[in-house]
Amino acid sequence: MSKPRQPKTIEAARLIRPQAKIDLVLEIDYLTSQADIRHSTILEHSPGEIIIAQTSPPIYKSLIGSKLEASIVHHTAIQSTRWGWTATILHIDNDYILNPDSPDPVNEPALAISPPPRRAELIRSNVRQAYRLDADRRFGITLTVEPEVKSILLLNFSAGGMMLSTNKPAAFSLGQEIDFELAFPPQALIPLHTVKGKAAVMRMEISPHNNKQVSLGLKFSELNEGAQKALPKILNYYMLQEQRFRSRFDG
């Protein structure tokens, strides 16, 4: 008996509704794959914004304008699947009126994030993996950097950054910006086959197994046109490829 095929996308209107639980990934540690995840509840929504309850710990005004990954779990009788999109923190309201039509309305802190683009569908995601994809060699993904370093290896990447390994740590320093290019095989069914731009070195860590090998955590600071929207779809495509590969060996 064949397994039911999982959909690749879902209509945003099916999940974005009041009282739905929502998870926000604010920041990713590009060396440990740990993410700053905040949990909240949707209070109301409109075509221009989604109002959610303030998180714990709270999101501060200094983060207004920052991007994050928002996702909602859709439960069915067969399975539970997480669907997400890239959102922007629009504003914070410390005196949001909850149930304004009630005889005894309550003020609560809340914040607004941007909804998915109009008529856009959400794509499958995994908040625990922080949207990080291991750059398995069978995918044929290649990386080039400037300044050129021959002994460099792409370990994984996400919509916000990537993790590299090198035995030439002297070529890098904290805060340094490097030019990079990620190239994907032309046969891959993705919207963009070259992602390039600048990335800043956020972390450097010596390997516990080889003191000459260093892991680098980089955050994208500038991307070519269309890359920001394309990266979540590229990640989704390769995550599906990985799932198909594993299913062939799992039974």
Name which of 43, 36, 38 is nearest 19 in CA terms: 43
Q: Give, as one character, the DSSP assignment of residue 14.
A: G
Q: 64-120, pLDDT tens digit by residue?
A: 998 888 999 988 877 788 888 888 999 999 999 988 887 888 899 999 999 987 766
**Distance between CA atoms of residues 84 and 23, nearest Å:** 9
Q: What is the pLDDT of residue 232?
A: 79
Alpha helices in the chain (DSSP H): 227-250
Beta partners for 221?
A: none
Burial, 84: exposed, middle or buried (Cβ in 10 Å; 0-12, 13-18, 19+)? buried
Whole-number pLDDT of residue 191:
92
Where do the domains of the chain lie, and which CATH numbers do they carry? 9-129 (2.30.110), 133-250 (2.40.10.220)
Q: Is the pTM of the predicted complex or chain greater than 0.75?
A: no
pLDDT in tens, 176-188: 999 999 999 999 9
Order of all β-strands in the sheet with 161-166: 133-134, 152-157, 161-166, 214-223, 194-206, 177-183, 142-146
What number is the average pLDDT over the span 134-158? 84
